[in-house]
Amino acid sequence: MANVHVVPIEDAWTVEIEGQGDSVVHRTESEAMENARRLAQQQKGELLVYGSDGEIRERDGYGEYPVDPMD
């Protein structure tokens, strides 16, 4: 399981799989989101999308998470 990060940089968007160090640059946010969502599903991880302020503005999980004992 690995998380996938979508981060804006200048006039582009990067997609990075956590722990791998490599990133792919996309010209549009929609291209980056499409690629990142696919990768997060394959990795059974979490998709984290950052805003220009560096804060996470969206997240979505695709893995199997343990059941909360409070449920």
pLDDT tens-digit profile of 7-61?
999 999 999 999 898 899 999 999 999 999 999 999 999 999 999 999 999 999 9
Please state the pTM of the whole predicted model.
0.85
pLDDT grade, residue 66 (50/70/90)? low
Where exactly are the structural domains of the chain?
A: 4-48
Residues 6+ apart with CB under 8 A from 41: 62
* Cα angle, residue 2 at apex, residues 58 and 38 outer, rounded to 5°: 65
pLDDT grade, residue 69 (50/70/90)? low
Q: What's the pLDDT score for residue 31?
A: 97
User: How do beta strands 46-50 and 4-9 pair?
Assistant: parallel
- Euclidean distance between CA atoms 35 and 43, whole angstroms: 12
Locate 6 and state its tokens.
Answer: 């979508």
